[in-house]
Amino acid sequence: MRRFDFERVLLVGNPTSGSRKVGRWFDAVAQEFNRAGFWVEELVTQFAGHGRQSANSHGCRHALVVAFGGDGTFNEVLNGADLESSTLAVIPAGTGNVLANELGMAGHPLRAVRQLLRGRLVRLDVGLCNGRRFICIFGAGLDAAVVRMVHARRGRRLTQLHYVPHAVRAALERVPWRIAVETHGEVLAEELDQVNVGNTHSYGGPMEMTPAAGPADGLLDVMCMPRLGLADVARLTACGFLRSLHRMPAVAYERAVRVRVTAARDDVPYQIDGEAAGVLPAELSIEPRAARLLVPAAFRPRRALPLLR
């Protein structure tokens, strides 16, 4: 029995998402929502931007818009939806599934649907980067270069292991990205190799680049990684897995509502929610509690952790 204030579901499936689950499970997912009493409109994306275009249609007002795909699919829906009147949800079928991991979503599509049907509504913050919304994380420099390399070879099933050789290659190439970060108009750090600005603590798998972040605290967490030797990079990577990057002396870590990221060169890439999105500069800000999401009943937004050194 329905117990929400929406009667319609727009199910947006991306068949090219990394795990390729959409093709196998799309019809079954739609049927689960049907059986729960919802009128379901089904859409399988055909091109980049199709999810955004569909979520932007007038018929999606006062509906639940479900992104069945990866973080990039949810990002398209997030940017197309009318956040004043729509509710959003995700069923994970991507490579990293950062948002789904943050929310505690089940990996199996049908179990994820059942979580949503028993779930609850929450308000989460939304980040803005050069006018584009994001829900999880922004990255510039080293990690964005890896994302760009991986996405250039799309067309097959992707797992997180596909990122490893590209990450090793990017680290060994030692490109001087020369990134600078300002928060609230003041210089935070310069001559950086990587910058992450996170709304969530999840990053990909067990690694956390902004481990102190909370998606409902009204703030962006900023992690600045300076240019380091390979041994230091290995140490910082280990801290990413141990969720302690914000306590590393070599790392500048701050919270802000406005962030500016620039570079001394004009070809420094950045990524948004795991998708290659452009080159610097980037102006970032936060919209507190701007998105309404349907999430598992057990989900509780992580409280922002203290920035202890």
Q: Do 247 and 168 reside in the same domain of the chain? A: yes
Pairing outcome for strands 269-272 and 179-183: unpaired
Q: Do 88 and 201 reside in the same domain of the chain? A: no
Q: Do 156 and 243 reside in the same domain of the chain? A: yes
Q: Do 191 and 89 reside in the same domain of the chain? A: no
Q: What phi and psi values does residue 308 have, to the nearest 5 degrees?
A: -85, 140
The amino acid occupying position 165 is P
Q: Do 139 and 41 reside in the same domain of the chain? A: no
Number of domains in the chain: 2
Residue 301 placed within a domain: no
Which of the two residues, 4 and 265, has the higher pLDDT score? 265
Residue 303 placed within a domain: no
Angle between helices 142-151 and 163-173 (to 10 degrees): 130
- Per-residue pLDDT tens for 38-76? 999 999 888 787 888 777 774 566 689 999 999 999 999
Euclidean distance between CA atoms 60 and 8, whole angstroms: 8
Euclidean distance between CA atoms 1 and 276, whole angstroms: 40
Q: 280 with 179: CB under 8 angstroms?
A: yes
What is the percent of the chain with per-residue pLDDT over 90, rounded to a whole number? 60
Q: Do 67 and 194 reside in the same domain of the chain? A: no
Residue 295 placed within a domain: no
Residue 308 placed within a domain: no
**DSSP letters for 270-307:** EEETTEEEEES-EEEEEEEEEEEEEE-TT--PPPPPP-
- CATH number of the domain to which 201 belongs: 2.60.200.40
Whether residue 207 is predicted with pLDDT greater than 90 in this model: the reply is no
Whether residue 19 is predicted with pLDDT greater than 80 in this model: the reply is no
Euclidean distance between CA atoms 109 and 48, whole angstroms: 23
Whether residue 1 is predicted with pLDDT greater than 50 in this model: the reply is no
- CATH number of the domain to which 101 belongs: 3.40.50.10330
| Among 203, 195, 210, CA closest to 262 | 195
Q: Do 163 and 278 reside in the same domain of the chain? A: yes
Q: Do 111 and 156 reside in the same domain of the chain? A: no
Q: What phi and psi values does residue 237 have, to the nearest 5 degrees?
A: -60, -40
Instruction: Tell me which of 112-126, 198-212, 272-286 is least confident.
Output: 198-212
Q: Do 38 and 159 reside in the same domain of the chain? A: no
- Per-residue pLDDT tens for 155-202? 555 555 555 554 556 565 667 899 999 999 999 999 999 999 999 998
Q: Do 113 and 167 reside in the same domain of the chain? A: no
**DSSP letters for 17-77:** STT-HHHHHHHHHHHHHHHTT-EEEEEE--STTHHHHHHTSGGGTTSEEEEEE-HHHHHHH
Report CA torsion sign: 164, 168, 169, 171: positive
**How many degrees, rounded to 5, is the angle at CA 190 between CA 184 and CA 192?**
120
Residue 304 placed within a domain: no
Q: Do 46 and 109 reside in the same domain of the chain? A: yes
Q: Do 285 and 174 reside in the same domain of the chain? A: yes
Average pLDDT, the chain: 87
- Whole domain around residue 144: which residue ranges? 133-290
- Per-residue pLDDT tens for 81-110? 999 999 999 999 988 899 999 999 999 999
